[in-house]
Amino acid sequence: MNIDTLVRNNVKNMSSYSSARDDYSGGANKNLIYLDANESPFENGINRYPDNKHKNLKTVISKNKNINVNQVVFGNGTDEILDLIVRVFCNPNEDKIITLPPTYGMYDVIAKTNGVENIEIPLKSDFSIDTDKILGLKTSNIKILFLCSPNNPTGNSFEINVLDNLIKKFNGIVVIDEAYIDFSSQKSLINHIDKYENLIITQTMSKAYGMAGIRLGVGFSNQKIINYLNKIKPPYNINVLTERKALKELNNIDEIKKNIDLVLNQRKLLISCLEKLDFIDKIYKSDANFLLVKVDNAGLRYSQLLEKGIIVRNRSNQPLCQNCLRITIGTENENKSLIKTLNQL
C-alpha cells in the first residue's frame, strides 16, 4: 500500500505554517533576546509561545512508550488528532470512513463536520467485529477504518489477531483508538506501528492518566503519517500550561499506575456487588474504567440515581445497548455510595 496515494492532494501540495521559532536554530546556552514573535517581553511564565515541536513532552512520552520521538503527534485531546486524521486523508463530499457502532460518538461528528460519509458496520451481538462485512464492502473511496479497543461504551477489547488481520487486509488507514488501553488485560498495538504502513494508534491523558482537564491526546504512527499530521496541525495546539502540567504528572508515573490498580480493584468489587441486584440483567465484561450494565428499565434507573445525586450515562439509544447504563468506576467511597443507593431502589 502506498500511503501517499491516500493523502488528499491539497495536503500533499501545501507547506505547513512557518512560525517565528522555526527560523531560528542557535546555540542553547546563550542568553538570547527574543524579538522574533511579537510576544510580550514581560516574563510571567506564559508570555512566550509554546514549543510547536513539543520537544520536551515528546521526549518523555516516547521514552515512556518505548518508541521513536518522530513517531508521535500531539492533539488538543484525542479528538483533535482524530479530526486531523480525517482531514489528511478524506476529501469532503467524496471520501468515506467506516465506524463500528455502538462506539465513540466523536468519529461520526468529526466525519460529518468534514463532509465525509460515515459507513456504519454494527458490531455483532456479542460486540465482536464483523470482519467479513467490512472487507466485503464494494463501496469506493473508503479511506479510514476507526476501531476503538477497548470499545466505548461496550467495554470489550477486540482480539489482537482480529485487529491484526484487519490492518493487513483493509485497503486504507486503520485507526485504533486506545483511550482505555491502560485498564485492559490486552496489550497495546503501539509496537505494530513499525510493522504496518497504514496503522495509527491514539491514546489520551484523559482517562487512566487523570488529566482530562488539560486536553492532551497522543497519536502514534510511522514517520510518514506523523509528518502529514504535523503538517496540518495548528502549530501551538498544546499550550504552555498543558505541557508543564503533563510533564509534572508524568514524572510521577508510579502514582498513575497506583490509581489504575485502584480502579481495577474497584471494578472487580463493583461487579460482585452489582451481580446481587435483581433489576440488573447483565454486566458486560469490561476492559475499561467503566461498566456497561443492562437493567430492567434504563430510563427509570437513570432518573432514580440522578435523584440521589449520582449521574451515570444512559446508553439505551445506541444499537445493541437497549436498557444499558454506562457506569464509570469512581473512588472507593463513590462506589460505596452507588451500591448503597442501588440497594435501596
Binding site for ligand PLP (CB under 6 A): 77-79, 104, 148, 152, 177, 179, 204, 206-207, 212, 217
The tally of CA atoms less than 13 A away on the side-chain side of residue 206 is 18
Q: Which three cell numbers, joined as nine digits, stand for 168?
A: 493487513
- Smallest gap, in angstroms, from Cβ of residue 54 to ligand PLP? 15
Angle at alpha carbon of residue 110, lines to 155 and 95, rounded to 5° = 110
Query: Rounded to whole angstroms, how far apart are CA atoms 306 and 312?
Result: 8
- Smallest gap, in angstroms, from Cβ of residue 105 to ligand PLP? 9
- Residue placing its CB nearer to ligand PLP in the complex, 19 or 328: 328
- Residue placing its CB nearer to ligand PLP in the complex, 77 or 102: 77
- Residue placing its CB nearer to ligand PLP in the complex, 83 or 95: 83
- Smallest gap, in angstroms, from Cβ of residue 103 to ligand PLP? 7
- Smallest gap, in angstroms, from Cβ of residue 140 to ligand PLP? 28
- Residue placing its CB nearer to ligand PLP in the complex, 113 or 272: 113
From 217, 289, 205, 221, select the one nearest 253 (Cα to Cα).
205
- Smallest gap, in angstroms, from Cβ of residue 154 to ligand PLP? 11
Query: Rounded to whole angstroms, how far apart are CA atoms 333 and 339?
Result: 10
- Smallest gap, in angstroms, from Cβ of residue 81 to ligand PLP? 8
The beta strand positions in 129-251, using DSSP E, are 142-148, 173-177, 199-204, 217-221
- Smallest gap, in angstroms, from Cβ of residue 291 to ligand PLP? 14
From 78, 52, 45, 6, select the one nearest 238 (Cα to Cα).
52
Q: How far is CA 103 from the centre of its chain?
A: 12
Query: Is there a contact between 287 and 280 (Cβ–Cβ < 8 Å)?
Result: no
Query: Rounded to whole angstroms, how far apart are CA atoms 58 and 51?
Result: 11
- Residue placing its CB nearer to ligand PLP in the complex, 52 or 152: 152
- Residue placing its CB nearer to ligand PLP in the complex, 152 or 318: 152
Sheet holding 217-221, edge to edge: 72-75, 217-221, 199-204, 173-177, 142-148, 96-99, 117-120
- Residue placing its CB nearer to ligand PLP in the complex, 243 or 342: 243
